Structure 1
Amino acid sequence: MNTEHSEQSAEGEGGPRAREAQDAPDAPGEAEAKAPPDPPEPPAAEEAEPQGEPQRDAAAPAPGTPPGQVHHNNVNQFFYGELNASRTLFGIGTADSDNARRRAVGRLDAGEADAILAPYVKPSRCFEEAADALARDGVVVLVGPPGSGKRSAAVALVAEVAERTEYVVLSPGRSLDDLAGGRVAFEKGVGYVLLDRMDEDASQTADFDWRRVRDTVREHGAHLVVTTVHPADGGPVESVRHVPWRLPDLAAVLRVRLVRSGCARDAVERAVALMPAGCGIAEVAAAAERIARGAEPAGVWQEYGSSAAQPVRDWFARDRTPQEWAEVTTLAFVNGAGYRDFETCQERLESWLVPAFPAPVSEVEQAEAARQTADRRQSLSRNALVGVEERKDGALTRTALVFPHSHYRQWALQELWTKRSTPFWNGVRDWLTELIGTQPGLGMQLSVAQGLALLTRPAFDEVADNYLRPWARGAAGPAGQSTATLVLQCMCLDESLAATALGVARDWARSPDPALRSTAAAAFSGALGVRFPTDAVTILLRLIVRRGGLPVDASFALAGLVAVLAECGQDTGAVFRPLAYRLRAQRGTLTGQPKENTLDAVLTVLRARDARTGRRMCAGVLEREPRQTDTIGELWAGVLENRPRRSLAVHGLYATLRDLPAVAADPTEVAGRFGRSLGAALPRGDRPQLQKALRQVAARADEVTTPLIDTFLTAVPSTED
């Protein structure tokens, strides 16, 4: 099993104690976690325990929290519960939000590998060139724009050259020093792929660094394929071949996918004949899936390639009034609103856009401008890019303004970016900052976040510099910070943007600004943590143990990440194992802030509630993931050993046992298994104290809980022999 070890240390962070904590290796066996298919809501604020035990509210900053640190407890809940990305092309071969719900790194299982390799079509020349370099050197780099098929090619290359049919996807955050220095445990015969490697600062030692990577991979008998959109930094690289990547024959790609789906030959050829120019691999894969399910090819192809953009480009090719520009811009960011909310937002935008357009001079121009303003709704009805949709809301039906086709949105944003200059975008920036700063509902926040995520494709710097970073620092208040995290969540829907979102959040986490670090912690508790669990846990643990970090924010973020993983039965060990390792490593330390913060983080995670059910997450994990029982028992033992936290730990333990009947098919079996694991980890001298304290807390337990307490406590001393 591959183990990715500790993340590289952030430069200049913290004092000696912080550096010591950062340089410690991560837990053995800390594999990249699988992302769940349907993540849940984050844990709710912890409620008061029985017998009046003091409790810190999860929604409130800890005493002494610097200004700007906030918690975003409802953002992930809304993102996963309400996001509707239907028929919006995010990611490779997907038409919904599934990409945000599965891990982007880790070992590929047989089904995932087959799904990539079975329909794969090799591009001419560049594939053979890359395969030869990989066989010769053990490492090859594929360089090409997004959508050119590098991801599938990387897996196909290691499948062709590597000795074993095992493939591991590494985090795009891995540096050359990580790859060369032993922080990735390469295994003989295994194929590794590192997708969308982040652009590092140009270095004059690039060739030397790549040579070290090559030698390390060779030494372990492994093979590594790296993909990137960037050319080599610091000059030409001779030690590792960088192969310019090209699209395969898209007609062949479509034929293979349709034939494999059982489509008749004449239907296949008709679909191929209708395929428009300008398609990417992801679009062809998505279209093939829909056609194979019975959709009419002519209708499907209208949403992909040059056909998708043409109606939008035709609209923008004509002279448009300032009001029409404002209509489409408002729709790009406020999508799905009713007439009143939409017109209010449009009116505010127009006031910000005044400097971007010449003022009407003549009386005729002024009269026309006044008429248009008075007839907003009629103008909207004449706009070909504005559609009206009737949406069911319980027993009611409400009207929503949308694009006639959802894919128009991304093309409208690209045309807006291409055709409007800085004064226009200054107005858009100020309008959105004002809009978000008024603390709109989460639906409005999500719509704005989706628009900004789509805008990152043609204008990443614009979004990062004028929206993400200022909002993450608090320029638009707490709602701006949560909206910034939502933008990163939406970017995770697109496999070509997920690595970029990771890079943004990593930069925030390393910032000296506590508000940026707080927002980063919130981002890692949701879709970003699901996509890149090892990166998320490593960074959050650093924020917990580093001097001047944000232990409260990071602890709640870890609990949120457990909630996402636990609800779907995925590997919550991605959080539990590193926590147990940290606790074990600090057991011999008498005191110190890193140890105190680690204990607080463990207690926060163990006692957190699932907002969806109100029950302890730990109870559900014990039922769904029996393999985590020993690790959870070790974590409970660690906080029970600590006298200042023992009372809170006992009350949390009681609440967990009390919730077992609601989540477990056989709560008695789970309680016994849990008791044996905790007893094995708890020192003998502490077991009688646990018996006494838990009996006291459970004195008034109901008739269902009392037998579980008895079973649990009977199992605890059973390990003495």
Structure 2
Amino acid sequence: MASETDSPPEGVGIGEEATPVDLTEQGEATNEIFAQVSQVQTVINHIHGNIGGASFGISGSRPKSRRTSGPVSQHELTEARTCYVRHASYQAAAERLQSSNMVALIGNAGTGRRTAALNLLHDVVGARRDMVVELSPAYTLEKLAAREIRPAHGYLLCDWPRDDLDGSIADFHVREIRRRIRDAGAYLVITGTTTSLPEADQVPWLPPPACDVLRAHQVAPEVADEAAAQITTDHAMSDVVALARQLASGVPLDKALSRLESAGRRDVVTWFDGPRTRGELFEMAAMAFIAGLPESGFEVLLARLESIAGIGLEKTDAISADDPMPSRRLIRVAEGSLLTLSPERRLVFKVEGHRTHVMRELHQRHGMRLWDPVTEWLHECANLRDPSVQAEIARGVAVLASVAGYSYVESIFLTPWARGGGVMRRQATAAMAISWLCLDETTRPEVLRTVTSWTRASAARPKFTATLAWSGELGIRFPLEAARMLWLQIKDSKKPVRHAEIALAHLFTALTEATGNALPMLDWFARQISNDKRIGRAIDPSIRAILSVLSARPDGAGVPTVTAHLRSRSESAAPLAKLWAAVLVKRPHRRDALAALYDAVCAFDERDDDDRNRVRILFAALVEALPAKERPLLAHDLRRYAISRNTDENRMKLLLSLLRIFLSPAVLSLDTIGNRP
């Protein structure tokens, strides 16, 4: 298989010469790369907004919650319990949990393990708020054994990878985990395909019968029986539940089953079973990785793949003008084809789920004669200047991981791209792939460990790739891990780490846009800056990082993220005020902090009562966070800054009235702000 060194130099179009440039020190170009990664995040947000999640493989998950650690919401617990079937595997797991306070559900992805785990924990700890907590799969056995366990809480570890530890050491940590869980009267449920727990704590997990699921949703028995006959092991439990809800809502059986067929393999297998030319197979391989591109762009990239594969080079005779030339564009989307053209003339699969099945058939049926040229071609495509190509390549690599295994994709593509030289387009492609991989529950824990290892690498390029990855879907799934890793890069550096500062700003924006809640991250930063006793230049890296968060904007130009977050979470005023106070008291950074505060305040609508109240809450929080001697100075400086920005009269009156808070804090406090008109 082609290696990383077989691909063309970094940062070039196919056939161009390279001019290697290190972008880690170039702010403008670094911003461009982060913007490219953010574009993929926008697509992922759109997917979640429309269908409540995404699935690469047949057995992928479609979770509605984006965060993969922290307290499980009451909504998610209620959703998990709706029409749930407590079958034989569930009863066995419940008995094990009751007797030993911990159990591992061992089975394949897509079989309902997480939903079962939530039901199990709800049964033993009840519906009390924040009593069920999901732990990060980044926990090792040693760290989990040292973790504080809260009394009577339920803990969930989804898709926890097995620790590669010596048996006696692993047994020691498991005993300590069991002791802590029992002493606290708490419960722990683990899901995975394998586990470090002993066999006595494991329950082989099988999904509930499809017919039982359908009947639990009040589907008529005769319809449930007929529908269940069409469900195979290829279908995830989420597919079965979706079918049950459609049937229960009155959707006709034939129509509901036609939607279910989108997860099937029939059309794809039929296509591959037919006689196929090398050209057709390489065209389908290209589609598996770059579906969704404009037809003309697809053809350019396909021509390069065919060139690498040697297609068209075997014929030595001159080509005559009279030779027949097939209508390839028409043949490509003819009846019986798996492909079609969108109204915008983008080449796509007729059914989105076919992409995964095509990738599976290519991987299972064909070896190095197909995959060596494809791998070399992918390394070239990862270097291209077109972000849309990189985004589709990243998505295709994530699909490949669902059929070939994560370790294959990590070793052949992700890590070589993360370490690659040149102008860092490969690093951007790797980070995009990380975001797509985070949508699959089976690869998410492994991705977390991979990016963590890049963060801790001594080389600059893997670190840079990690910062890109933390700013996207990975950071949304694991916000505190992302905050810690980015903060460590900044705090421990002897010189500015601009890309990590940018990553923090993008992470704040990504969390706000995707979930409306970056409070855990803001609270954590507020604690870090409050406990940091360094003075002078020593604390400058941390101050710059905080300032990047306070100044964050979507795409660098939209409504300040602080404003959007305060609109969705008014309680974030307190930690935001602490962060602003930490920056405002530092004279070299005061003007930038004032600019961020002014922009955030002016982005609110002064005619809207709710917005006016949010601004009051923020200023009241600033009064409490700032030292008393700093308040009049800030009022003076903010007034001067507002005048320098040619603030309109109405806005200026509002600002002046709020500035009086700094001079007379008793006028308004956090205790009374919510009741003030």
Q: TM-score, with normalisation over the residues of structure 2? A: 0.85
Q: 1:381 to 1:638 in 2, by over 3 A?
A: closer
| Consecutive unaligned residues in structure 2, runs of 5 or more | 1-21, 668-677
Identity among equivalent positions (%) equals: 27
Aligned residue number for residue 83 of structure 2:
119
Deviates more, 1:76-85 or 1:497-506: 76-85
Aligned residue number for residue 603 of structure 2:
659
CA displacement 1:370-399 (0-9 Å, x = unmatched): 9798653354245844322342xxxxxx32
**Aligned counterparts of 1:358 and 1:615: Cα–Cα separation in 2:** 53
Aligned residue number for residue 4 of structure 1:
none
Q: 1:211 to 1:668 in 2, by over 3 A?
A: same
**Aligned counterparts of 2:611 and 2:393: Cα–Cα separation in 1:** 45
**In 2, are the aligned partners of 1:472 and 1:516 still within 8 Å (CA)?**
yes
What pairs with 1:176-195 in structure 2 (closer than 5 Å)? Answer: 176-182=141-147, 185-195=148-158
Aligned residue number for residue 414 of structure 1:
360
CA displacement 1:533-576 (0-9 Å, x = unmatched): 22222222222212479732222222222223334672221221
**In 2, are the aligned partners of 1:335 and 1:402 still within 8 Å (CA)?**
yes
What pairs with 1:328-367 in structure 2 (closer than 5 Å)? Answer: 328-354=284-310
Q: 1:87 to 1:388 in 2, by over 3 A?
A: farther
What pairs with 1:429-468 in structure 2 (closer than 5 Å)? Answer: 429-442=375-388, 444-459=389-404, 460-468=406-414
Aligned residue number for residue 243 of structure 1:
203
Aligned residue number for residue 596 of structure 1:
540
Work out which of the residue numbers 265, 268, 273 in structure 2 matches 1:309: 265
- Structure 1 residue matching 2:664: 3-state secondary structure: helix
**Aligned counterparts of 2:334 and 2:500: Cα–Cα separation in 1:** 50
**Aligned counterparts of 1:329 and 1:561: Cα–Cα separation in 2:** 34
Deviates more, 1:610-619 or 1:203-212: 610-619
Matched, 1:626 2:570: yes
- Across the aligned residues of Structure 1 and Structure 2, the Cα RMSD in angstroms comes to 3.6
- Structure 1 residue matching 2:340: 3-state secondary structure: strand
Q: Which amino acid aligns with 1:572?
A: A
Structure of higher RCO (CA pairs closer than 8 Å, 6+ residues apart):
1
**In 2, are the aligned partners of 1:679 and 1:716 still within 8 Å (CA)?**
yes
Q: Which amino acid aligns with 2:74?
A: A
Aligned residue number for residue 160 of structure 1:
123
Matched, 1:141 2:110: no
Aligned residue number for residue 550 of structure 2:
606
Matched, 1:288 2:232: no
| Consecutive unaligned residues in structure 1, runs of 5 or more | 1-59, 392-397
Q: 1:683 to 1:82 in 2, by over 3 A?
A: closer
**Aligned counterparts of 1:454 and 1:570: Cα–Cα separation in 2:** 28
Deviates more, 1:284-293 or 1:107-116: 284-293
Q: Which amino acid aligns with 2:545?
A: A
Q: 1:316 to 1:91 in 2, by over 3 A?
A: closer
Q: 1:341 to 1:509 in 2, by over 3 A?
A: same
Q: 1:95 to 1:321 in 2, by over 3 A?
A: closer
Matched, 1:175 2:175: no
**In 1, are the aligned partners of 2:435 and 2:472 still within 8 Å (CA)?**
yes
Question: How many residues are matched?
Answer: 637
Q: 1:590 to 1:316 in 2, by over 3 A?
A: same
- Structure 1 residue matching 2:155: 3-state secondary structure: strand
Q: Which amino acid aligns with 2:391?
A: L
Deviation at 1:471, TM superposition (A): 2.2
Q: Which amino acid aligns with 2:386?
A: P
**Aligned counterparts of 2:23 and 2:263: Cα–Cα separation in 1:** 51
Aligned residue number for residue 386 of structure 1:
338
Q: 1:92 to 1:424 in 2, by over 3 A?
A: closer
Aligned residue number for residue 201 of structure 1:
164
**Aligned counterparts of 1:485 and 1:531: Cα–Cα separation in 2:** 14
- Structure 1 residue matching 2:156: 3-state secondary structure: strand
Work out which of the residue numbers 560, 567, 570 in structure 2 matches 1:616: 560
Aligned residue number for residue 478 of structure 2:
532
Matched, 1:223 2:175: no
CA displacement 1:178-218 (0-9 Å, x = unmatched): 22213xx4322221111011333233311111111111111
**In 2, are the aligned partners of 1:609 and 1:617 still within 8 Å (CA)?**
yes
**In 2, are the aligned partners of 1:473 and 1:515 still within 8 Å (CA)?**
yes
**In 2, are the aligned partners of 1:143 and 1:242 still within 8 Å (CA)?**
yes
Q: 1:557 to 1:662 in 2, by over 3 A?
A: farther
- Structure 1 residue matching 2:341: 3-state secondary structure: strand
**In 1, are the aligned partners of 2:59 and 2:234 still within 8 Å (CA)?**
no
Aligned residue number for residue 113 of structure 2:
150
Q: TM-score, with normalisation over the residues of structure 1? A: 0.80
Aligned residue number for residue 717 of structure 1:
663
Deviation at 1:278, TM superposition (A): 3.9
**In 1, are the aligned partners of 2:56 and 2:356 still within 8 Å (CA)?**
no
**Aligned counterparts of 1:323 and 1:224: Cα–Cα separation in 2:** 53
**In 2, are the aligned partners of 1:87 and 1:95 still within 8 Å (CA)?**
no
**In 2, are the aligned partners of 1:672 and 1:711 still within 8 Å (CA)?**
no
Q: 1:289 to 1:496 in 2, by over 3 A?
A: farther
